[in-house]
Homo-oligomer: A and B are copies of this chain.
Amino acid sequence: MNKDPRVQAATAHWSGRFVSNGVPLADFQDVTNSIDRWETWCEAWSARGAIHEELGRESLAGGFKLSAGQHLTVAGVCYHFGKFLFVQDPDQMQIAHRKAVECRNLALENLSPAGERVAIPYEGKTLYGNLRKPIGTDSPSVVVMAMGLDSAKEEMETNEGVFLERGMATLAFDGPGQGEAEYDFAICPEYERPIGAVIEWLSKRTDINSENLGIWGVSLGGYYAPRAAAFDHRIKACISLTGPFDLGACFDNMPSLTQAAFIHRSKAGSTNAAKKIAARLSLRGIAEKIVCPLYVVAGKLDRVIPHEHALQLADSATGEVTLNLIEDGGHVANNRIYKYRSQSADWMANQLNIY
């Protein structure tokens, strides 16, 4: 039986992202080897998630908090990747999504440093986030983390880690069209709005120094973060990981699963309507308003968002720009995280006066 090209593409292109964000390599190998049809993807990953969830619950029962937090986080990541692009079956997607959130929530208080699930008021409803504070720092600086089209706060353990271990707090949250907020809110091209609500909320926390606030965004979040920085000058520094400068310009060439996810999460209802929304995800005439320091990662082998988009962002911003063009990096340079993850975190720490 021939493999579904979507499963082939997953096998060929996703190992870096999955593993660098916490999926055990053997799980990735086993799942991609064991299934032929995309339709069984979510089920196979959910079964993996259940194994880690059970290990986590055993650890909890034994009083081993740290292990519990780690296993449950891996469980959450497995469930998350089961559903991250599974928009053709919204019911199955939502069941796996609930498990991802449940596991990560259960993990939070057991992690080191612990995390706190927070609820941020937004347009009459709620955006959920995970707030974590570094060990041994009073009133830490904070990095707001903007997800992409298919990432969600449950995938952020390893990305949070590099900021936390360098003395910064992290707030990974699901914005419009993302994670827990994708049901109430469609993708919002004007992402300065949810970010404004998040900063407003943070400014009321007495245990966080929201004056020293940076923003980080991955993939489509690599558009959202600089977009917010352009309009909201409370943001002191911005990291953009391989985001689009103009999503409309690359929509037609994106992988089919990515297009389908955009159509679903923009609640556009049709490809044509989705393209019109995609055209609004643009930094043309906007990037010039970015005056804070900006760190841009571009992967020259990026097959989702051509790297020229990142170059254009680096070229257009008004503030100081650090461009990290990774010659052998793909989308988000997930295959070369050692060429930017610690470096960008060190850069952020410098901007927020940690060192």
Q: Are A337 and B67 in contact (CB under 8 A)?
A: no
In chain B, what residue has the closest Cβ to A18? B25
In chain B, what residue has the closest Cβ to A55? B338
In chain B, what residue has the closest Cβ to A67? B342
**Copy number of this protein in the oligomer?**
2
Q: How far does the Cβ of A22 sit from chain B's closest Cβ, in whole Å?
A: 11
Of A57-65, A236-244, A288-296, the segment with at least 4 beta carbons within 8 Å of chain B is: A57-65
In whole angstroms, what is the CA distance A16 to B338 when docked? Answer: 19
In whole angstroms, what is the CA distance A328 to B355 when docked? Answer: 46
Most-contacted residue by chain B among A19, A67, A355 (CB, 10 A): A67
Contacts A66-B166, A165-B66 given; does A24 touch B342 at CB 8 Å: no
In whole angstroms, what is the CA distance A63 to B347 when docked? Answer: 11
Verify if A26 is at the interface (C-beta below 8 Å from B).
yes
In whole angstroms, what is the CA distance A74 to B20 when docked? Answer: 14
B-contacting residues, A313-348, CB 8 Å = 335-339, 342-343, 345-346
In whole angstroms, what is the CA distance A281 to B160 when docked? Answer: 46
Verify if A71 is at the interface (C-beta below 8 Å from B).
yes
Q: Are A64 and B165 in contact (CB under 8 A)?
A: no
Give every chain B residue within 8 A of A67 (Cβ-Cβ): 342-343, 345-346
Chain A interface, >50% SS class: helix
Which of B29, B59, B338, B345 is the one whose CB lies under 8 Å from A342?
A: B59
Verify if A112 is at the interface (C-beta below 8 Å from B).
yes
Verify if A351 is at the interface (C-beta below 8 Å from B).
no
Verify if A70 is at the interface (C-beta below 8 Å from B).
yes
Q: Are A70 and B15 in contact (CB under 8 A)?
A: no
Contacts A24-B337, A336-B26 given; does A342 touch B64 at CB 8 Å: yes
Verify if A97 is at the interface (C-beta below 8 Å from B).
no
Additional A-B contact list (17), CB under 8 Å, known A55-B339, A55-B343: A15-B29, A16-B25, A16-B26, A19-B25, A24-B337, A25-B25, A25-B335, A52-B338, A59-B343, A64-B346, A64-B355, A67-B342, A67-B346, A70-B342, A71-B338, A71-B342, A112-B165
Name A residues whose Cβ lies closer than 8 Å to a Cβ of B: 15-16, 19-20, 24-26, 29, 52, 55, 59, 62-64, 66-67, 70-71, 74, 112, 165-166, 335-339, 342-343, 345-346, 355
